[in-house]
Structure 1
């Protein structure tokens, strides 16, 4: 409404100025034509200036048309003396002001008298066919009378009122049309705030912005509903995973306290308590590490390393630490590359990926570490020939606390390994992605660096 009012005011000001200028021009043109007509009338057939009674009648008729009752019409001879004048006030000041401007070639002249009244003056020469000057016709009209245009102003006021009503009506209709979906969205937000994610919004809106807003909010609620369900399931899983070692430790210690086990069994029970304690400690460490990673508190100490030697060393150390026989093949880059990275974080990521690959293996399983360059990036594929990841779980494997159904049933853990590894890879300037997975196996790709001009090849 404020914009509408400002717009109408500007239109009114501009239109008023335009009407004023147009009115002045039109009235001056008419006065000039009238003065020319009077100049023709006062010349007789002999080429002499002759003032007769016809002039007064003509001037009276034109007066009513031009509404010059507040103005002056004078005829001066070539000496500047008034030979005809119709004016309630004709004094020396007027004559002095008009006479001084008789020879001006301007179309009209604006004159301010000593009483501060402003007049528009139109001057026309009275000439013979031989261009002999016989006198002048002087027409003076007050400025207030010249600029008056009641008809045009009425039309302008009517136009502004019409525009105001039309603008208000358009604003009212648009506001109602836009506010209805916004109010629906507000109600939907209140439902989401109360934990109700079953939202159904009308997306049949022609306005692109409203449609995109509604669609985005609906997609967000679907995502929130899925995450809420997943959060509930994961919380239950985490509680179970943390409770299991505590329950085991408690039961073992209670048995030793009650003295129902032998000395040899006590040692065995203590060993089991130690293993459960280590497992519980590892879960808590994973939780603390992930919390640090999630808030961007990942400590990175980059140094220049030979990527081929680093991957070869990490693979070898992991391999010799496995109790089961696992076939591991490593394919390095043809040329070694020196890059700036954190070798300890690379080790953490690869250990997580290799442990996951081992858990997915069947009998006579095999793991391959294949390094290559693609799109000017150094990539490491960790490939196994295990059971693969079900298609319905592939979009969720990097979610925190997510664990696949099969892994949840057979392997204990919190489901933070891949989520933490991805955060570490991104902090190093790379990424961790699932390249492909099927019943024939899985390939994870670790992007650890993007070579620059300063990268050294040896």
Structure 2
């Protein structure tokens, strides 16, 4: 069998959450970079347009009639700082025909002496300056120098797009922010994953202890997460239940061994006495008779055990047939009463007011009723009473078997349908394996019904068999 490499729950959650976090941060970074580039470019173009307009208005305010526009170069340089770029933009002052009159560029690639008049007369003030190549796009911002409706010249600013979009500081800040978020997210994920995986790891460790037979496990009791709390609480309940069942199994195994060993020892002793001639004549016959009775009891217990195991393995068939309820129950109770010594016990059957049809297995139902009646007989004492009452409710036949015996102790009532369980009042009084009620419940379930303990107290016990009635 191929070995599967498994990783811890903490590592599994942490690595996948971190991978998801990194992927999310990458997407956020890409979107943020695109947004920053677009926003910075738009903002710097707006600032450049504002500076150009401010220069145009300043020049127009000092313009003399019949003179060309002009401005001090120091004024041009003082505007560079507003753009916050490594390289200042090229600023030009031209006349109305586009001839450059003043500029802050004495040399370099942007040392121009003329701008095309058709370019200056375009409607938009922010344009892409034609350079003849797509590799280095240059933005052109122009504002007219206008006095009383007459254009005397132009303020023109040129700057490459890569310089306008230079956002080194912004990228540095974004990188610090992303890295900080990544580290903080990783730490938060690790702490949360550890918090969630710790109780699960403790449950896994406790499962190993139970596998080794140690049921005294310790698990955290104060857990805020509802699902984890439910897991821990359910596991602790399961561990306690397993511990109880293990103790019960050991006790029941000892009880079954004792119940089977007692008749064997009795039979062996009786037969040995007959063989050795210790008893003779009528007394020997009595010893043989007792031995046969003990053999029959032991055979019945073994048959009960085999039949129970066969039924739980679905090896016993169920033959369903139609029967009249009142007639069927009257016959069952009558047959049971014939074979019993009921001198001091009253048995009463109350049938349905209107007879109904039931679809059931006669033999299996009789096994249930006989077992309940036998239990009731063992429970009652002198002047005891057993009542069998038939009622109908929601298309169900309710067969109520009630006695006025000592009842079942409260602590034992939840265990009466556990296989091999025998109560303290019964285990020393009546020989058996504790399979009667569990087997009867299995039979009732096989008949599409159920067997329940309705109530039990010091005044008696009531069991109810529920079976579906035929429609119509």
- Shift in alpha-carbon separation, 1:368–1:31, aligned structure 2, 3 A: same
Across the aligned residues of Structure 1 and Structure 2, the Cα RMSD in angstroms comes to 3.8
Distance apart, 1:182 and its partner CA: 4.9
Instruction: Indicate the residue corresponding to 2:9 in structure 1.
Output: none
- What's the CA shift string for 1:366-412, capped at 9, x where partnerless? 21111224466432211011221122222221111111112111111
TM-superposed deviation, 1:322: 2.4
Distance, in Å, in 1 between the alignment partners of 2:420 and 2:128 is: 89
Q: CA deviation at 1:353?
A: 1.0
Partner of 2:369: 350
Structure 1 Cα separation of the partners of residues 226 and 159 of structure 2:
60
In the TM superposition, what is the alpha-carbon distance from 1:287 to its structure 2 partner? 1.9
Are positions 1:382 and 2:367 aligned together?
no
1:153 maps to what in 2?
A: 171
Moved more, 268-277 or 25-34: 268-277
For structure 1, the residue ranges without an aligned partner over 5 or more in a row are: none
State the Cα distance separating 1:135 from its structure 2 match: 6.8
Partner of 2:299: 281
Equivalent residue of 2:329, what SS? helix
Equivalent residue, structure 2, for 1:20:
37
Structure-2 separation of matches of 1:239 and 1:112: 106
Q: Deviations over 1:101-124 (max 9, x none)?
A: 96365x856689654325363544
> How far has the Cα of 1:427 moved from its partner?
3.6
How many residue pairs were aligned? Answer: 449
1:412 aligns with 2:431: yes
Number of the residue aligned with 1:456: 471
Do the aligned partners of residues 116 and 122 (structure 1) sit closer, same or farther apart at CA in structure 2, a change above 3 Å counting? closer
**3-state SS of paired residue (1:437):** strand
After TM superposition, the structure 1 stretch with the greater mean CA deviation from structure 2, 295-304 or 330-339, is 295-304
Q: How does 1:5-84 map to 2 (within 5 A)?
A: 5-6=21-22, 7-41=24-58, 43=60, 45=63, 50-54=68-72, 56-66=73-83, 67=85, 69=87, 73=91
Q: Distance in 1 between matches of 2:130 and 2:464?
A: 91
Quick one: structure 1 residues 354 and 111, their matched pair in 2 at CA, closer, same or farther if it must change by over 3 Å? farther
Q: Give the SS at the match of 2:184.
A: helix
Deviates more, 1:199-208 or 1:40-49: 40-49
Q: Kindly tell me: are residues 342 and 91 of structure 1, through their superposed partners in 2, closer, same or farther at Cα, counting changes over 3 Å?
A: farther
Residue deviations 1:327-356, cap 9 Å, x none? 322223333333444443322222211111
Judge conservation of contact 1:112–1:118 (CA < 8 Å) in 2. Answer: no
What per-residue deviation string (whole Å, max 9, x for no partner) do you get for residues 278-304 of structure 1? 322322232233334445656444344
How far did 1:150 drift?
A: 2.6
Supply the distance in 1 between the matched residues of 2:160 and 2:185 (Cα, whole angstroms): 38
Say whether the 8 Å CA contact 1:39–1:124 is kept in structure 2: no
**TM-score, normalising length: structure 2:** 0.79
Q: Tell whether the 8 Å contact from 1:119 to 1:140 is kept in structure 2 after alignment.
A: no
Q: What SS class does the counterpart of residue 410 from structure 1 fall into?
A: coil
* Distance in 1, Cα, partners of 2:120 & 2:449: 88
Determine if contact 1:331/1:369 at 8 Å carries over to the other structure. Answer: yes
**SS at 1:433 equivalent:** strand
Determine the C-alpha separation between the residues in 1 that align with 2:354 and 2:335: 22
Q: Secondary structure at the match of 2:335?
A: helix
The yes-or-no answer on 1:336 pairing with 2:355 is: yes
1:89 and 1:296, CA in 2 relative to 1: closer, same or farther beyond 3 A? Answer: farther
Match of 2:331 in 1: 313
1:164 counterpart = 2:191: no
Deviations 1:198-217 (A, max 9, x none): 34444234444444444333
Give the 3 Å change call, closer, same or farther, for CA 285–119 of structure 1 in structure 2.
Answer: farther
Question: Do the aligned residues in 2 keep the contact of 1:80 with 1:99 (CA within 8 Å)?
Answer: no
Matches within 5 A, 1:9-408: 9-41=26-58, 43=60, 45=63, 50-54=68-72, 56-66=73-83, 67=85, 69=87, 73=91, 86=105, 88-89=108-109, 103=122, 105=124, 114-119=132-137, 121-126=139-144, 128=146, 139-174=157-192, 177-178=195-196, 181-182=199-200, 184-258=202-276, 260-262=278-280, 268-295=286-313, 299-325=317-343, 326-374=345-393, 377-408=396-427
Following the alignment from structure 1 to structure 2, what is the Cα–Cα distance between the partners of residues 47 and 319?
139
- What TM-score, normalized to structure 1? 0.81
Cα distance change, pair 315–118 in 1 and its aligned pair in 2 (3 A)? farther
Residues 353 and 382, structure 1, Cα contact 8 Å, conserved in 2: yes
How far the C-alpha of 1:184 sits from its partner, in A, is: 4.8
